[in-house]
Structure 1
Amino acid sequence: MTKPVVLVTSATGRIGKELVARLSQAGEFTVRACYHSESKVADLKAVGADETVFFDLNDAATWDAALQGVSAIYSASLDPMLEGHLNFCKELGNRTDSIKHVVRVSCMGADTNTASYEADQHSSREGASIPLMLQHYWWGEKALIEAGLNVTVLRNNFFMNHLLKTDCDNIAQEGWFTNPLGKARNSFVATRDIAEAAAVVLTEGPDRHSNKFYDITGPQPQTMAEIAADLGRAMDKDIEYRPQSMESFEADFGATRAEFFEYLVNGFYCRCSPDFYNLTGHKPTSYYDYLTTKGASGETGLEELWQGNLWKKGEDAMKEAAAVKS
């Protein structure tokens, strides 16, 4: 019997690699993994991809080969790729006869269709709006829904692997990191857990999960001092958290990212959701366990900390995306 084909976009990313490995191990799909750099193909094959395909959200000429014979899609894209994703959704809307299910990675707070959500109202500070990055995540969901697809959305808390990447040099060389989060508690989520949830949802299919929206969080909300203690224990060295002002953070990374971090400081990402447990039957991964144990793709979180990073000090990675209109 021929297996259905699942297309894994962003397959070379942290979640994507984990998902490819998990789907391969489950054996229910032919796993087609997308790459943007030829140098990543061997890695994708190593974690279990049955097929690999070049794919670029900004180049429609690459879409047909990627989508040939596909019945399910894992959809993920970096924030600066928003416009490409919106255009890709229009193409998917022309293929609803063959594409039976799309699982989209999103973010907690992209709640327009599941809650009373006023984009110009931020409940913790008068006059502030819902962060633009969260509005973008909603646009990414909405484009798939309006295309007439069976959609499941994983709305995730802030990723553990993104938390300290901007300070990895300081951590390795001097033993400290900085950001404005301070004593605010956030239930940071392990990317391997997002991949596990996606694998469950794809395998169980649209009959069970279409038009469902799951908040995926970590098992406990933690302060930066607690994060520093976990990292230090994992590295067997003293790690110091140094508070940073929001003004300094905005100067480093731009207004759009600073607006999102203010959302974290204001407590909106503190809560722990039961959705991961309800999908998988077990608790989410703690930060310390994420750092010190291997995921399905064979890496620990600590090994992953030193790998590539979108956010670089002195650069506003969201500058172009901030100008995109829904």
Structure 2
Amino acid sequence: MSRTVLITGATGTVSTALMDALSGADVDLRALVRDKSKADGPAGKGAEVFVGDLGDPRSLPPAFEGVRDVWLLTPNDPRAPENSMNALWAARQAGVERVVRLSVVGAAHDAPNRSGRLHALSDRELEVCGMRWTILRPHWFMQNLLNEAGDIAATGTFSLNMASARIGMIDARDIAECAARVLLDGPDRHHGATYTLTGPRSLTFGEVAGRLGLALGRPVTYLPVGDDTRRTALLGHGAPRWIADMLEEYAQAYASGWGDFTTGTVAGLLGRPPRDVVEFARDHAAAFTSGGG
């Protein structure tokens, strides 16, 4: 009998890739979207779409009714623990069997960034919720490089405030495929597990630039900038101040060596190595050529 899987954050990068990864599997997909106008994307992937907001608990019961598994992805903002709490309460009330939650790399009460500390609160709540659970803590997304696609296409350069940080970055598609593996393996096999997911190697952004150039067939250069310069650019592009602050905290942590590690978890779950940044760049070459993400 098919299990009904509810996908939250259904229009985001990882959740969209997760629906692709679950395509053809013996599951009934259900998607939660905040904006009805964005329902076509999940619906086109075969999901039954419900409109609801994790920030509004009254909107959630219809989406959770009859669900066996929840993929829990909360917006990255100060209300993330509240959003997670509302989802877990709706899940418990609906008799959900398992929650698979997307956390962040290094989530801990003493993490050097507010996102990690907030996610630690929600991770702990999940661990004692009484349902089966699995937590995924992915490293820095390769897809973040798509935010620099316009500059790379126009000038062959990109700028980040990461100094010479070395990071075990991961393709979001690998995160999604790990999530699909956990969901398809059944509710007991991964219960109580927290998986830290990384790419195959730890790279500096100078090395990333070299690999992007290799994939694109033209030089790409990384230009380190200071925190103030990056912050001004983010705010100028409309990023909320809280997001700019959070990203600065991550950059400072990475520059100190905090992200210089990899794990073998992706290979252990998928039976293959995680994607390299060269493969990522080749698959997204059009974005880096035209500037469109």
Alignment TM-score > 0.5, same fold: yes
- Does residue 289 in structure 1 map to residue 279 in structure 2? yes
Q: 5+ residue gaps in structure 2?
A: 235-243
Give the corresponding residue for 1:312.
none
Instruction: Tell me, in whole angstroms, the C-alpha distance in 1 between the residues paired with 2:48 and 2:287.
Output: 26
Q: What corresponds to 2:238 in structure 1?
A: none
**Does 2:9 match 1:28?**
no
CA RMSD, aligned part only?
Answer: 2.2
Match of 2:182 in 1: 201
1:265-305 Cα shifts (integer Å, max 9, x gaps): 12221111011111111100111112223xxxxxx476498
Summarize the alignment of residues 131-210 of structure 1 with structure 2, pairs less than 5 Å apart: 131-165=113-147, 167-210=148-191
| 1:196–1:302 distance in 2 versus 1, CA, 3 Å | farther
**1:41-60 → structure 2 map (5 Å cutoff):** 41-46=39-44, 48-60=45-57
From 67, 71, 76, the equivalent of 1:70 is 67
Matching residue within 211, 222, 225 for 2:203: 222
Distance 1:131-1:37 versus aligned 2 partners, 3 A rule? same
Count of residue correspondences? 280
Q: For the Cα contact (< 8 Å) 2:136–2:197, is it kept in 1?
A: yes
Distance of 2:262 and 2:107 partners within structure 1: 16
Counterparts of 2:6 and 2:106, CA distance in 1:
26
Secondary structure (helix, strand or coil) at the match of 2:209 reads helix
Cα deviation, residue 111, structure 1: 4.2
Pick which of 280-289 and 171-180 moved more: 171-180
Query: Which residue is equivalent to 2:239?
Result: none
Task: Please give the TM-score of this superposition, normalised by the length of structure 1.
Answer: 0.79
CA contact (8 A) 1:19 1:199 kept: yes
Alpha-carbon distance, 1:191 to partner: 0.3
- 1: distance between equivalents of 2:129 and 2:83? 15
Partner residue, 1:243 = 224
Identity %: 26
- Residue 31 of structure 1, CA deviation: 0.8
- Cα deviation, 1:157-196, whole Å, max 9, x if unaligned, reads 011112451x333222222111122322111110000000
The answer for unaligned runs of 5 or more in structure 1 is 113-118, 120-128, 294-299, 308-326
Q: After TM superposition, where is structure 1 displaced by more than 6 Å over at least 4 residues in a row?
A: none
Decide whether the 8 Å contact of 1:24 with 1:31 is kept in 2.
no
- Say whether the 8 Å CA contact 1:161–1:301 is kept in structure 2: no
Please, which of 247, 251, 254 is the counterpart of residue 257 of structure 1? 247
Query: What is aligned with 2:292?
Result: 306
The more displaced of 186-195 and 142-151 is 142-151
Partner deviation per Cα, 1:34-86 (whole Å, 9 max, x = no partner): 2233343332233x323122131122232111101100011112211513223
Q: Distance in 2 between matches of 1:302 and 1:101?
A: 38
Q: 1:301 to 1:70 in 2, by over 3 A?
A: farther
What does the per-residue CA deviation read over 1:6-49, in whole Å, with 9 as the maximum and x for residues that have no partner? 00111211111111111122x22101122233343332233x32
What corresponds to 1:310 in structure 2?
none
Counterpart AA for 1:168: A
Contact 2:161/2:225 (8 A) holds in 1: yes
Deviation at 1:252, TM superposition (A): 4.5
What is the TM-score normalised by the length of structure 2? 0.87
Letter in 2 for 1:103: V
3-state SS of paired residue (2:39): helix
